[in-house]
Amino acid sequence: MNNEAKYLGKATKYPKQYAPEVLVPVPRVLNRKIYGLEEHSLPFTGMDVWHAYELSFLTQKGMPVAGLLKIIYPSDSPNIVESKSLKLYLNSFNMERFGNRSAEGTEMVLQTIKDDLEKLLETKVEVSFFSKEESSKADFTDYEILEEQPEVENTEFSIFHEDPELLKEDRNNQEKEINVSTHLLRSNCKVTFQPDWGSAFIHLKGRNIPDRPALLQYIVSIRNENHFHEEICEMIYKRLWDKFSPEELMVSCIYTRRGGIDICPVRTSAPELMPENLVNKNKLMSKLLRQ
C-alpha cells in the first residue's frame, strides 16, 4: 500500500489511547525527482511549519489541557509526516493522563511528540504549546497583492494546470527586487483531490524580475495540480529559480487549516530570508486571510 494513502480519503477510527504507530512518513524524494531536485544539491534551505489547533490531554487529576501545538522541522529531512496520520496521532493523547499539573503534563506531552516525530522524520524537530491567546507577530508586511494590481484586470486566465511557460520577465521594469503575494493559491491533495486553499508570498531579488500579471497567471495555473503543500512550495520555488536565476529567493505557502491543522512551508535561497515569526517556535505569526 502506498503510505500516502493509508488514511487519506478513508473512514478511520480514532485511537482511544496513545498511538505513535499511526504516524505515516512520506519520502520527500518521490516528488523532488519530478522537478529535478537532487537531495545532495538542493537550491534552497527551508522549514515546514505546522499549527495543530486540537491538541488536548488530561492531567493525572482528569483536568483537560487544550491548546495550539506548533511543529517546525527542516526541509532537508528525508521524510514529511502525512497530515491525517498526524491528526490521528495527536488525538490519541485526548484521554491520556500526563503530570499532576498542566505545566508538568505539557512538558511530558511535548517531549513525547518531539521524540516520536524525530524518529519518524529522521531529523531534529521543534515543538511548542500555546494554551492561551498570544500576542501575534507580523511577517510578510508590505507585500503587494498581485490580484489587486490594475494591470491584472485585463489579464486572461485560461490555463489551470501548472505551466512554467507562463512565467515571463518584466523587461520594462527597472526594479531589482519585489515582494509580492496572492491569496488565489489553490491546489489539490494528491490522494483525495480535495481542494487546498492558501496564500503565496514571494521575495525575489536579481537582474531579472517576473512580470506581475504573468506571475499571477502561473500561480493560478496550479489550481488543478495534485500535490502536498510542501511539494507545491518547492515546485514554485524551483520554477522561479530556473527561470530568473535570482540572487535571493523566498517562497512561502500559507495554507488554510483543514482537519484542525495548517501547513506552512517556506523555502529560501539563504537562511536570513526566513520569515522571522513563522519559523520561531516561541512565536505565533499573525493570521493571514487564508488561515
Which residues are part of the catalytic machinery?
189, 196
Handedness of CA 28, 29, 33, 37 (dihedral sign): positive
Q: How far apart are CA 262 and CA 51, in angstroms?
A: 5
Q: How far apart are CA 138 and CA 136, in angstroms?
A: 7
Per-residue exposure over 136-159, b if at least 16 CB sit within 10 Å of its own CB, e if not: eeebbeebeebbeeeebeeeeeee
Q: How far apart are CA 50 and CA 127, in angstroms?
A: 10
Round to the nearest angstrom and report the end-to-end CA distance of the chain: 32
Q: How far apart are CA 131 and CA 110, in angstroms?
A: 13
What are the residues facing 265 on neighbouring strands? 48
Residue 150, Cα to own-chain centre: how many angstroms?
30
Q: ∠ at Cα 73 (93, 183), nearest 5°?
A: 95
The closest alpha carbon to 97, from 133, 148, 40, 57, belongs to: 57
Q: How far apart are CA 222 and CA 10, in angstroms?
A: 25
The CA radius of gyration of the chain, in Å to the nearest whole number, is: 20
